[in-house]
């Protein structure tokens, strides 16, 4: 392994850990761009999942006192049930088209929300919608690894503070990613090389997550909401760009 590979791995781990510490999600968004330059895609994705789980531990500790088990279950239980359903539907769905649709939806939602001075707020209880959103997230996670896209957009519309938002988003993403990691282990994707890469990325992920968490503590509820909205927009742009780049490379 070259020094360049180690440097790219460290930068990606710092960036991914930082955004996870700040927002509670987004490791892949900021780490994969660095790691795909030097790692095989399958190894890079597996390391991202491991680092997402590791980077999320500090955030989980931060919001553990505001986690509402009943509210969280409305999202996570249908999501975990939806993951295998999404995997089973892989042969029936054009994943490329699906990712483009979700990416465009993220861009439109993020762009619209940024242009609005004040976001609409849903103040009433919405348990059945929460269950539906969680289930959709699980299915999309199994289909295309996009479990957090729809739940993140939905949660920005709810009249919650930053701790309440994070107390759903972070454990939701960690549980779904944990299920995906178990599937990867069963499929034999957790190789010795992947474990070595994860070991190298580990300290940089923890450092990045710590720095992100320090910034999280300094932002207010409105600033945190705006950070999430910008990440939604960036996620959409990255997703659409990556899919088109892959399509062009196959021509």
Strand segments, DSSP code E, in 118-217 are none
Cα separation, 29 vs 89, whole angstroms: 25
The per-residue pLDDT for range 196-213, each reduced to its tens digit, is 999 999 999 999 999 999
Cα separation, 186 vs 9, whole angstroms: 25
> What is the structure's pLDDT at 69?
94
**Angle (CA) 204 210 213, round 5°:** 140
The per-residue pLDDT for range 143-163, each reduced to its tens digit, is 777 788 889 889 989 999 999
The per-residue pLDDT for range 27-37, each reduced to its tens digit, is 888 888 889 88
> What is the structure's pLDDT at 4?
92
DSSP string, 91-134: GGS-HHHHHHHHHHHHHHHHHHHHH-SS---B-S--HHHHHHHH
E strand or H helix at 62, and its extent? helix 41-63
What's the gap between Cα 113 and its chain centre? 19
Q: What is the DSSP letter of 158?
A: B
> What is the structure's pLDDT at 250?
76
Residue with tokens 């710590």: 210
> What is the structure's pLDDT at 125?
85
Q: What is the DSSP letter of 24?
A: S
> What is the structure's pLDDT at 50?
92
E strand or H helix at 76, and its extent? helix 69-88
> What is the structure's pLDDT at 100?
86
Which positions of the chain have pLDDT values less than 70?
117, 119
Segment 3-9 long-range contacts (CB within 8 Å, at least 24 positions apart):
4/38, 5/38, 5/39, 6/200, 8/34, 8/35, 8/37, 8/38, 9/34, 9/35, 9/38, 9/39, 9/197, 9/200, 9/201, 9/204
> What is the structure's pLDDT at 145?
72
> What is the structure's pLDDT at 76?
95
């Amino acid at each position: 392994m070259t020094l360049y590979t180690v440097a790219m791995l460290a930068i990606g781990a710092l960036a991914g850990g930082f955004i996870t510490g700040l927002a509670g999600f987004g490791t892949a968004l900021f780490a994969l761009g660095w790691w795909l330059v030097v790692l095989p895609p399958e190894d890079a994705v597996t390391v991202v999942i491991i680092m997402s789980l590791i980077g999320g531990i500090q955030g989980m500790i931060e919001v553990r006192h505001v986690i509402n088990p009943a509210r969280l279950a409305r999202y996570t239980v249908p999501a975990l049930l939806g993951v295998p359903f999404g995997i089973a539907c892989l042969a029936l769905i054009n994943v490329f088209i699906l990712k483009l649709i979700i990416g465009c939806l993220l861009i439109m939602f993020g762009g619209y929300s940024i242009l609005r001075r004040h976001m609409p707020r849903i103040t009433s209880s919405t348990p059945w919608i929460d269950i539906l959103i969680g289930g959709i997230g699980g299915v999309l996670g199994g289909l295309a690894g996009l479990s957090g896209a729809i739940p993140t957009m939905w949660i920005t519309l709810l009249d919650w503070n930053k701790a309440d938002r994070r107390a759903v988003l972070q454990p939701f993403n960690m549980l779904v990613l944990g299920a995906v990691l178990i599937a990867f282990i069963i499929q034999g994707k957790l190789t010795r090389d992947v474990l070595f890469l994860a070991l190298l990325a580990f300290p940089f992920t923890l450092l990045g997550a710590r720095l992100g968490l320090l910034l999280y503590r300094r932002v207010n509820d409105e600033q945190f909401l705006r950070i999430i909205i910008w990440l939604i927009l960036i996620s959409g742009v990255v997703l659409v760009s990556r899919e088109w780049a892959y399509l062009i490379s196959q021509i």
